[in-house]
Amino acid sequence: MATTIQPTAADPTAKVLRTPYQESVAAYWNAERDPVNLRLGEVDGLYHHHYGLGDYDPSVLEGPEDTREKRIIEEMHRLETAQADVLLDHLGAVRPEDRLLDAGSGRGGTSIMANARFGAHVDGVTISESQVAFANDRAAELGVADRVRFHFRNMLDTGFATGSRRGIWTNETTMYVDLMELFAEFSRLLEFGGRYVCITGCYNDLTGGRSKAVSRIDEHYTCNIHPRSAYFKALAANRLAPITVTDLTPATIPYWELRARSSVATGIEDPFLTAYKEGSFHYLLIAADRI
């Protein structure tokens, strides 16, 4: 049975959901039971809410028909876990005594991976109470609840202490918030020299605006995809200096091509593939240090 998690902001009377838009986003994720998230997580207990990186093994499409779908699901999950590993690779040196923040933590997969890799304390925050309960239950089942905790908090105002974080990441969550406000909060939370890592989809400024395919992605996920330039403006304004910028677009296309051939396809696969291939949408990794 899912654990009920109460709001845990620094001020217990603080309203976590500030606007009707945030309420609508929270309602979407509270109700979400998409097999593309749940079935993949059942492979090994790591539940991701992001996409994959790397070439898929073409053999998963071959062999006995009765086990084909199982092979595809397992391969998609492998690619999604590989994506989280790439993100964690860019956090730099993290010690067991350090504290990390997973902003927009979903059902907790990357937080659990971070603790397993570094031994560090990890806090995840999300405005979905159902995700918080699910992720805390998983941490308890895995025996890491003393070091991995999930909270019903707003990533724009986490309530955590200033300078308390060695590392922070967002994995496909920044399209739900104002970047200036978000990066101001991250700048406050990070210690001097701390690292922020972002993986995100962003639209290409050179196209002059959102393409039709990008607009369809916005509509599907109730989000507001930012232009690529907005990330760098907001980082610079908040003392976050990029040290690595990597275009992951070519590396994510195979994942979407495989997903389009799976039973858990949601219909959004074609807009993603169109946007990536026409160049109107980029999949970026940005690592930045707090200066």
pLDDT in tens, 33-54: 888 889 999 999 999 989 999 9
Query: Environment class of residue 24 by beta-carbon count within 10 Å: exposed (0-12), middle (13-18) or buried (19+)?
Result: exposed
Angle at 48 (CA atoms; ends 129, 72), nearest 5 degrees: 140
Note the pLDDT of residue 63: 80
Query: Environment class of residue 33 by beta-carbon count within 10 Å: exposed (0-12), middle (13-18) or buried (19+)?
Result: exposed
189 pLDDT higher than 70: yes
Alpha helices in 150-211 (DSSP H): 179-189
5 pLDDT higher than 80: no
Give the total residue count for the chain: 291
Dist CA 92 CA 107 (whole Å): 24
Arithmetic mean of pLDDT, 184-194: 98
Average pLDDT, the chain: 94
Q: At 3, is the pLDDT very low, low, confident or very high (cuts 50, 70, 90)? A: very low
Q: At 137, is the pLDDT very low, low, confident or very high (cuts 50, 70, 90)? A: very high
2 pLDDT higher than 70: no
281 pLDDT higher than 50: yes
Note the pLDDT of residue 181: 98
Backbone angles phi, psi at 218, to 5 degrees: -55, -50
9 pLDDT higher than 70: no
Arithmetic mean of pLDDT, 234-261: 98
Arithmetic mean of pLDDT, 163-187: 98
27 pLDDT higher than 90: yes
12 pLDDT higher than 50: no
What distances in angstroms separate CA 134 from CA 46, 124, 151, one per listed residue? Answer: 12, 12, 11
Token pair for 86: 């790439």
Query: Environment class of residue 48 by beta-carbon count within 10 Å: exposed (0-12), middle (13-18) or buried (19+)?
Result: buried
Q: Which helix (H) or strand (E) holds 170?
A: strand 165-171
Check if the beta carbon of residue 247 is closer than 8 Å to that of residue 284.
yes
Angle at 163 (CA atoms; ends 162, 169), nearest 5 degrees: 100
Rounded (to 5) percent helix, strand, coil in the chain: 45, 20, 35
Check if the beta carbon of residue 120 is closer than 8 Å to that of residue 94.
yes
238 pLDDT higher than 60: yes
Note the pLDDT of residue 14: 65
Return the DSSP state at 17. Answer: -
Q: Is the dihedral of CA 184, 185, 186, 192 positive or negative?
A: positive
Note the pLDDT of residue 114: 98
Lowest mean pLDDT among 62-71, 96-105, 115-124, 264-273: 62-71
Q: At 128, is the pLDDT very low, low, confident or very high (cuts 50, 70, 90)? A: very high
Q: At 227, is the pLDDT very low, low, confident or very high (cuts 50, 70, 90)? A: very high
Longest dimension (CA), the chain: 57
Dist CA 127 CA 52 (whole Å): 24
Note the pLDDT of residue 208: 84
The pTM is what? 0.93
Arithmetic mean of pLDDT, 207-219: 94
